[in-house]
Amino acid sequence: MTQHGESDLAVLLASMRPTLDPETFVFLTTTQSISTLPLEALQPQMLFQEAEGLSIITSQTAAEAHGFLDPTFPCRKISLTVHSSLEAVGLIASIATRFAENGISSNVVSGYFHDHIFVPVGKEEAAMKVLQEMMKEAKEKVRA
């Protein structure tokens, strides 16, 4: 691993160590200027500017407390605690494939250090099981 993160797919899968956040998150959109939003109170997990508006991922509690009445995709966040490179190839594709095989939708946010997977409320345990299985399989391959 370099200071910019791990890029070897086998190592990433074997050491991804998923952790489940206890909070429920939602996705929002607004056309408000970012300077007018209560960002400190919203504690966004992500902000992303799109042509149609600003996308925000925040806790369901914060969204409701600040009058966002139309949140979508109530979800749970699973963080992969391995420091993955932003240039790593195949990690998210591998996970998305296995999730699809198990009927689990997901939305992924890649931060500088880690990847974070948002899965629908009610699917978090199944998603964690899939990730744990993938990690176990990868560890066995690395040992072989």
pLDDT tens per residue across span 80-97: 999 999 999 999 999 999
pLDDT at 3: 64
Tell me what the mean pLDDT of segment 70-76 comes to.
94
Q: How far apart are CA 23 and CA 58, in angstroms?
A: 10
Mean pLDDT of the chain: 93
Which one has a higher pLDDT value, 106 or 143?
A: 106
Mean pLDDT confidence for 21-47: 93
pLDDT at 2: 47
Task: Give pLDDT tens digits for 99-136.
Answer: 999 999 999 999 999 999 999 999 999 999 999 999 99
pLDDT score of 1 more than 80: no
Q: What is the mean pLDDT of residues 32-37?
A: 90
Q: Which domains does the chain show, CATH number per domain? A: 9-143 (3.30.2130.10)
